[in-house]
Amino acid sequence: MFSLSKPISIRTLLLAVFLLLMIFPMVVITFVIYTKENQIFQSQVSQYLSQTVQQTERALDANLTEIDRLTWPLLYQQQLDFLEGPLHTPYQLQEANRKFQQMVYFDLFRGRLDHIRAVYFVTPERIVLSTDNTYQWAKQMDKENYRYIIQQIASRPLKMNWFSDRRAAFRSDSGFETSVRDSVVAARRLIDSNFSTLRGHLFVQFNDRFLADSLKNVHIGSTGALLVTNPQGDIIYEQESALLQNRQIRDAVKSLPSQGSGSVKLQGKWLLSYVTSDISGWKMTAVVPMGELLGANQKILQYLLIMAVLGTVIFIIISVLLATALSKPVIQLARLMSYSSIGHLQVRDIQGSIHEIGILQRNFNRMMERIQQLMQENERKEKEKREALLQALQMQIHPHFLYNTLDTMYWMSKKHKAEPISKLVAALGKFFRFTLSSGQEWTTLEKELEHVENYLQIQSFRYRDRVRHTILIDPPARDTAIIPLLLQPLVENALEHGISNLPEGGDITITASREGERVTIRIYNSGVPVDVRRIASLLQDETQRAHVGLRNVQNRIQMAFGPEFGLSVEQAPEGGTLVIVSIPYQSLATKEAAG
Amino acid sequence: MKNRFKLHVWLALAFGLMLVWALGGIVFLDRNSVEAETPGTPPPSIKVLIRTGTESAALRQLLGPFEEETGIRVDLIEVGRDGYFTTVGTQLLAGSETFDLVFVPNTSIAELASAGAIAPLDPYIDNPALTDRPSFDLDDFLSVYRYQDAIYALPTDISTHFLFYRGDLIPEPPQTWDEVYALAEKFSKIRNTASPTKWGLAMPAVVPEERTKIFASLLWTFGGDFLSEGNSRSMLSEAKSIEAAQYIQRLVKNRLVPGDLVYWDFVRTRDALLSGEIAMAAPYWNAAYPMIRSDTESPYRDQIKAALLPGVKGPNGKIRRVPFQHAWTFAMNASSTRKEWAWKFLAYATGKKGGALYAQAGGVPARRSILADPAYRETRPDFQLILESMKYAKSEPAVTYYPSMVEIVEDALAKVFTVNNKPSDAFIQATNELNRLTAR
C-alpha cells in the first residue's frame, strides 16, 4: 500500500525514474505514432480512393456531356427537315426517316458512331423515326419503359436523361449474332423554340463499349473493382471482379446514399468509395479490400509495435541493471552500517567503480578503522588505569606498615647518628606518601615539584652527589592544577639518559613559570644531549617501545589539557637537554570547583 | 518525514508533467492532423453569362462592391456579340448549369420563359428573407418583364433611340423625318459639294440586332408595325410600314447615307460622327452619348448634340414620335443550382444602389429615380432626354418566336437597304412568311 510516510527504496526510485524517462516517452510516442499514422493513412487512402472515383466519375460525366452537347444543335432555332412535311403516307415516313438518319445519325453523331447502337425519335403522335430498320413502329416499343422515360424527362425537361438498357424503349431480343450488347440510353425532349411546343423525344441507344471504353481501364488497386448503378439500383456497368459478386458488397452498394459522395468501411474488410453524378444520377462505387490498401502500412505498424515491445523489454532490463548497479553499493553500504551499528566493527566495504559512492565506501572503511583504533586505545587506557589503580590499591594495602618501618629506620639512624640515612629515609617517606596518594586526580604544581625534589634527594644518595639540582617555581604558578607524577618520569629520564653515564655527574635545573594563561615547566639536564629528531619521532610513533615514559607523559598531558599542550625536547644552547612541558594555567581550587 | 513528503511530491510532479506532455502531444497531433477528405467549402460564387460590350464593362464595376457587401463572388462569362443569342438560347434550352444568371434583352423573355429555360423571379421578390420590397421598389423600374403574369426578368439597362446631330452645322435639331431628309441632302457631298460632311445621315444597319431595331423607330413613327394587335398577323405589308421602308430606300438610293449601311454597326456610326464624316445619326442609340462626351480626340465632340428622335407631322400639325425602346435584363437560369445567390446579385445589379454604380460606370439604369436624380443633371444630361423619349417609346412585340420574326424582317430589310427589291415586294414577302410563322 502506497504511503507517504514510508521511505522509498533507492532501487525503486531509480527504477521509477528510468521507467519514467525511457519507457513512458517511448510508449507514448509509439502509441501516438501508431494511432495517428494509422488514422492518417486510412484517411489518405480513403481520400485517394475517393479522388480516383471522383475523377473517373468526372471523366464519365465528360463523356455523357459530350453526347449531350452533340444534340444541342437540335434545341434552338433549328430547322428539323424530317419534321417539316406531313408524315401520313409510307413514302412520307420513309423520306422523313431518311432525312432523320442523315441529320442525326450521320451528321450529329458521326464522330461517336462506334458507341451508338441506334437513334430513335418519337413524336407526340407516336410516329417513330429510327436509324435501326428493325425498329420503326411505336408498337415495337416497350410501352412501360417509354412511359417511364417520358415521366422522367418531364421532371427534368431541359436536360439529357440517362437510363439503363433495362429501361430502353426499344429492346433488341434478337438480331445478328454479335458480342456487342446494348448498354445505356440517353433521352431528351426536343421542342420548337419558336413556340415551345413539343416536337418529340430523342432516344440514343448506346452499345456496351460506350461505358467500357471509359471505365474498363480504370484500375482500383490490384484487386478492387468499379461499379456504376442507377438510382433504382440497376447495374449500369461493372468491372469483372469476384468482389462484385459478393452479396454483402452488393447489398452495401444498394444501401449507400443516393446523393453526394463519401467513403464507407464495410465490416472492416472492404472500403467503398462512391460518388453520384449530377448529370446522370448514376452512382459510381469503387470497392477495394482494406488489406490491399493498408497492407504495407500495417506491416510498418507491426514493425513499429515489435520495435516498441523489444525496446520496452530492453529498457526494462537496462533500467533494472542500471538501478541495481547504482543502488547495490549504496544498499550494501547501508547494510554494513546497520551491521556495524550493532557492534560488528570489523566489516569493510569493497571499493566500487562509482566515484562518489567510492568516496563513501572509503570513508566508511576509514571510519570503521578509526573507531576500532579509538576503542582499542580506550580499552588499553582503561586497562592501564585499572592496573595502576590495582597497583595503587596493592600499595595501599600495607602503607602503615611501610610508614612505621620507615619511621623506625629514621629513628634508628638518628640514634646511631647516621644523618644521611635519616635524610634518605625521610625523603623516601615523603616520596611514598605522595606516590601512594597519587590516586587523586589533580595536585598543585608546587606539590608536584616537592615530590620531584624528594625524588632527586633520594637519587642524590644513589649518585653520591654527582647530581646537583635546582628547582625554581614562579609563585603565580604554584597553585597550577597538574596531574600527579607527571614530571617525575621526565626527571628520571634526565638522570637515566643524561647524567648517569657521566663520571663527573651533572646539573638538573627545573624552572616553572607562568605567562598569562600558560604555565611552562623547563627540565634541563647538563648531561649527554639526546637526539632531538629521534625523540620527536618517538613521541609521534605509538608503536615504538623506547622512551615509553616520554610518550606516556605526552599522552597524559594532551588527554588532560588538549592537543595544543604537551612536551617538547630541545638541545640546550649551553649543552645538555631541555624538556619543556606546557600546560594551561588553572588553579587547583578553580579546577575542583568546576568539577 | 518532511523530506520524504517532498520526494513524493517531486515524483508526482514529474509523472504529472510527463502525463501532460503525453496528452499535449496527442492533442497537438489531433489538431494538426491531415485534413479529411473534404477540402473545405468553397466561397459562394455565381456565374453570369453576358454579352461583350458597354453593358458588361459597366456591370463589371458592380462586382467588387457586391462581393464586399455579400461575400458572393461573381464571375462574368463574356460571349461575343455575334453568336450571343444562339449561345444563350442553346445553353438555356439544353439545361446547362454553366451559368446562373443570363443577360438577355427583353425580347428574349417570352421565348425562354415559355420553354421553362429561365426561372420566374416572383418567389424571390416575394420572399422577405431575400428581398426588402419597400426598398427594392418594383414600381421604380421603367419596366419589368413578365410572361403569363409572372416576372421573369428585371432590367439593368434601358435603351432608346436619339437623333445625334452636329450642332455647329445644324443649329436646331430637325423635328420630322422630312426635315431630316432635307438636312441629309444639305450635308451630303453627293448633293452639296460644299458640305463639310460626306454624308448627311447614317444609322447602324448591321445584323444581328441593329437592323430591325433601328428600323423599328421609323416603322412605328410612320404608323406601321411588325405585327397586329394580339400578334395574330403581320402588318409589314401595310402602306404605313412600306412607307417607312421607302423612306430608308430613298436615302440609300440618293446616297444621302453610306452605301454600305448594312455593315454599319454601333461603333462605326459613332466613329463617323466623331470624325466628322456624317452630320446626323438617327435613329441611333442613346448609349453613344456618354461615349461621345468622353472622347478626347475628336474635334467635334462638343459640337455633337442629342435630341428626341424626329417624328411625322400629322394632319392636325402635331408631331408623332414613337422611338424604339428596349432593355437588357437579368434572367435566372432555370437549371441554376445557386439560385438564391444569383437572385442576390440580380437584385443588387437592378436595385437602386447597383443602378447608381452602373450609372457612374456609364450605363443607363432602368430606374426612374436614378434617371430623374438631379445629381446626374450635370454629368449625365442624357438621362433627362431618355426619360422624355420614354414617354413616347415603344417596345418590340413580346412573342416567343421573336428570333424567327427578326430573321424574316432582317431579310426583308436587307433587300430594302441594298435596294435589291422594292420595299413593297420585300415587305409583302416578309408578311407572308410571318403569317406562316404565326399560323403555327
Q: Structural domains in chain B?
A: 45-158+326-390 (3.40.190.10), 160-324+398-439 (3.40.190.10)
Q: What is the pLDDT of residues A45-63, one digit of tens each?
A: 888 889 999 999 999 999 9
Q: Given CB atoms, is B150 within the 8 Å cutoff of chain A?
A: no
ipTM associated with this complex = 0.76
A contacts of B36 (beta carbons < 8 Å)? 43, 47
Q: Which position has the higher pLDDT, B24 or A492?
A: A492
Residue in chain B closest to A13 (alpha carbons) equals B11
List the one residue out of A479, A562, A68 whose CA is nearest residue A554.
A562
Mean pLDDT of chain B: 91
- Nearest CB to A47 within list B37, B90, B404: B37
pLDDT at B300 over 80: yes
CA dist A481 and B119 (Å) reads 132
B contacts of A157 (beta carbons < 8 Å)? 95, 116
Q: Angle at Cα A425 formed by Cα A422 and Cα A428, nearest 5°?
A: 150
CA dist B241 and A209 (Å) reads 59
Q: What is the pLDDT of residues B164-203, one digit of tens each?
A: 999 999 999 999 999 999 999 999 999 999 999 999 999 9
**Is there a contact between B440 and A194 if contact means CB atoms under 8 Å apart?**
yes
Q: Which of A213-217, B397-401, B408-412 has the highest mean pLDDT?
A: B408-412
Residue in chain A closest to B16 (alpha carbons) equals A20
pLDDT of the residue at A110: 87
pLDDT > 90: percent of chain A: 23
**Is there a contact between B21 and A28 if contact means CB atoms under 8 Å apart?**
yes
pLDDT of the residue at A5: 62
**Is there a contact between A77 and B115 if contact means CB atoms under 8 Å apart?**
no
pLDDT grade, residue B362 (50/70/90)? Answer: confident
pLDDT at B334 over 60: yes
Q: Residues with Cβ < 8 Å from A121, sequence gap 6 or more?
A: A82, A100, A104, A128, A129, A130, A190, A200, A201, A202, A203
- How many Cβ atoms sit within 10 Å of the Cβ of residue B238? 18
Read off the C-alpha cell for B212: 430591325
**Is there a contact between B4 and A5 if contact means CB atoms under 8 Å apart?**
yes
Q: What is the CATH number of domain A464-594?
A: 3.30.565.10
pLDDT of the residue at A399: 67
Residue in chain A closest to B405 (alpha carbons) equals A194
A contacts of B18 (beta carbons < 8 Å)? 20, 24-25, 28
Mean pLDDT check: name the lowest of A538-547, B164-173, B326-335. Answer: A538-547
Which candidate in A193, A264, A278 is best for mutational testing of the B interface (most B CBs within 10 A)?
A193
A contacts of B111 (beta carbons < 8 Å)? 193-194, 196
pLDDT at A333 over 70: yes
pLDDT of the residue at B3: 57
A contacts of B334 (beta carbons < 8 Å)? 158
**Is there a contact between B95 and A158 if contact means CB atoms under 8 Å apart?**
yes
pLDDT of the residue at A10: 82
Q: Which position has the higher pLDDT, A579 or A174?
A: A579
pLDDT at A488 over 80: yes
pLDDT of the residue at A4: 58
**Is there a contact between B403 and A194 if contact means CB atoms under 8 Å apart?**
yes
Which candidate in B6, B33, B90 is best for mutational testing of the A interface (most A CBs within 10 A)?
B90
pLDDT of the residue at B146: 93
- Tell me the residues of chain B between 381 and 400 that have a Cβ less than 8 Å away from chain A: 400
DSSP per-residue codes, A244-276: GG-HHHHHHHHTS-SSSEEEEEETTTEEEEEEE
pLDDT grade, residue A478 (50/70/90)? Answer: very high
- How many Cβ atoms sit within 10 Å of the Cβ of residue A551? 18
Helix (H, G, I), strand (E, B) or coil at B117: coil
pLDDT of the residue at A500: 82
Residue in chain B closest to A24 (alpha carbons) equals B18
**Is there a contact between A158 and B111 if contact means CB atoms under 8 Å apart?**
no
pLDDT of the residue at B246: 97
A contacts of B7 (beta carbons < 8 Å)? 8, 13
- Nearest CB to A20 within list B14, B86, B404: B14
Strands (E), B106-197: 118-119, 145-147, 150-166
Task: Kindly list the residues of chain A whose beta carbon comes within 8 Å of any beta carbon in chain B.
Answer: 4-8, 13, 16-17, 20, 24-25, 28-29, 32, 36, 39-40, 43-44, 46-47, 50, 68-69, 71-73, 75-77, 156-160, 191-196, 262-263, 278
CA dist B271 and B266 (Å) reads 9
B contacts of A68 (beta carbons < 8 Å)? 94
Q: Which position has the higher pLDDT, A122 or A16?
A: A122
| B199-to-B148, B180, B181, B192, B211 alpha-carbon distances in Å | 46, 12, 11, 10, 19
CA dist B304 and B316 (Å) reads 32
Which candidate in A196, A197, A199, A278 is best for mutational testing of the B interface (most B CBs within 10 A)?
A196
Q: Which position has the higher pLDDT, A333 or B40?
A: A333
Residue in chain A closest to B334 (alpha carbons) equals A158
pLDDT at A464 over 80: no
| Min distance A64 CA to chain B CA atoms (Å) | 13
| Min distance A195 CA to chain B CA atoms (Å) | 6
Q: What is the largest CA-CA distance in chain A?
A: 202
| Min distance A4 CA to chain B CA atoms (Å) | 6
Mean pLDDT check: name the lowest of A356-360, B309-313, B359-363. Answer: A356-360
pLDDT grade, residue A330 (50/70/90)? Answer: confident
Q: Which position has the higher pLDDT, A354 or A227?
A: A227
Helix (H, G, I), strand (E, B) or coil at B157: strand
DSSP per-residue codes, B349-361: HHSHHHHHHHHHT
Q: Which position has the higher pLDDT, A426 or A538?
A: A426
B contacts of A71 (beta carbons < 8 Å)? 94
pLDDT grade, residue B4 (50/70/90)? Answer: low
Residues counted in chain B: 440
Crossing angle of helices B239-253 and B402-417, in 10° steps, is: 40
pLDDT at B36 over 60: no
Helix (H, G, I), strand (E, B) or coil at A349: coil
pLDDT of the residue at B431: 96
A-B CB pairs within 8 A amount to: 110
pLDDT at A437 over 90: no
pLDDT grade, residue A179 (50/70/90)? Answer: low
pLDDT at A181 over 80: no
- Nearest CB to A194 within list B5, B21, B400: B400
A contacts of B437 (beta carbons < 8 Å)? 194
- Nearest CB to A4 within list B4, B21, B91: B4
* Average pLDDT estimate for B33-46: 68
CA dist A215 and A58 (Å) reads 11
| A542-to-A134, A240, A492, A534, A554 alpha-carbon distances in Å | 139, 108, 21, 13, 11
**Is there a contact between A195 and B440 if contact means CB atoms under 8 Å apart?**
yes
Residue in chain A closest to B31 (alpha carbons) equals A36
